[in-house]
Amino acid sequence: MSGKLAMVCGVLGALWVLALVLYGGATFPGYDHATQFISELGATGAPQGQLVSWAGFLPAGVLVCSFAVLGWLAAPKSVWSAIGFVGVFLFAFGYAGSAFFPCDYGCRPEEPTFSQTMHYLLGLPGYFLAPLTLALLGVAARNWPKARHINILGFVCATIALIALAFLSPDYEYVGVAQRVLEASMLIWVAACALYLGTRLRAA
């Protein structure tokens, strides 16, 4: 049962993030996905900031956090998978946290507010740990039945996330691209693992 629920939460959570990014960008005049942070869509003063935060980031965070818990319950147990799913939870917790603590307009303030500071504190750990999280889950999946593709995907996504993380600086011109590549690396693995837990693992 936990595998089926993990599948629903993981796939729906990944799609929810995609939808909020597309909707938020489409309703934000002049917004540039290549150069701006995703958090700017829900920032204080953004055109649809509150809607993106409460109907976008919060449910997306809840869904992927739920996947992390259910995934840990459904997947074969190991130290590596336990730590890895904790990493996924921390990553997704940043989504939920951003609803309660949106960044300041533009997300690059010279004098950050309390909300901006909390936004960083809740979101950055999951980002910095993303490459390690994916690598550990890749290691864990080596011992899962019929999960060779999950194993390989974990290492591929970990490598891509590490490269993207190296460019995740407000001073980098295309920081929006770097952030989206890092997020895609995590969410693609989440969706693939979710489908595995809900279908192949059950049949194994």
Q: What is the pLDDT of residues 162-190, one digit of tens each?
A: 999 999 998 999 999 999 999 999 999 99
Q: Are 102 and 42 in contact (CB under 8 A)?
A: yes
- Provide the whole-model pTM: 0.94
Nearest to 54 by CA among 46, 180, 112, 177: 46
Write down the residue that tokens 């540039």 correspond to.
Answer: 32
Q: How much is the average pLDDT of 16-43?
A: 96
Find, among 146, 160, 131, 132, the residue nearest to 193 by Cα: 146
Q: What is the pLDDT of residues 58-84, one digit of tens each?
A: 999 999 999 999 999 999 999 999 999
Cβ count near 114 (within 10 Å) = 8
pLDDT reported for residue 201? 64
pLDDT above 90 for 113: yes
pLDDT in the model for residue 200: 72
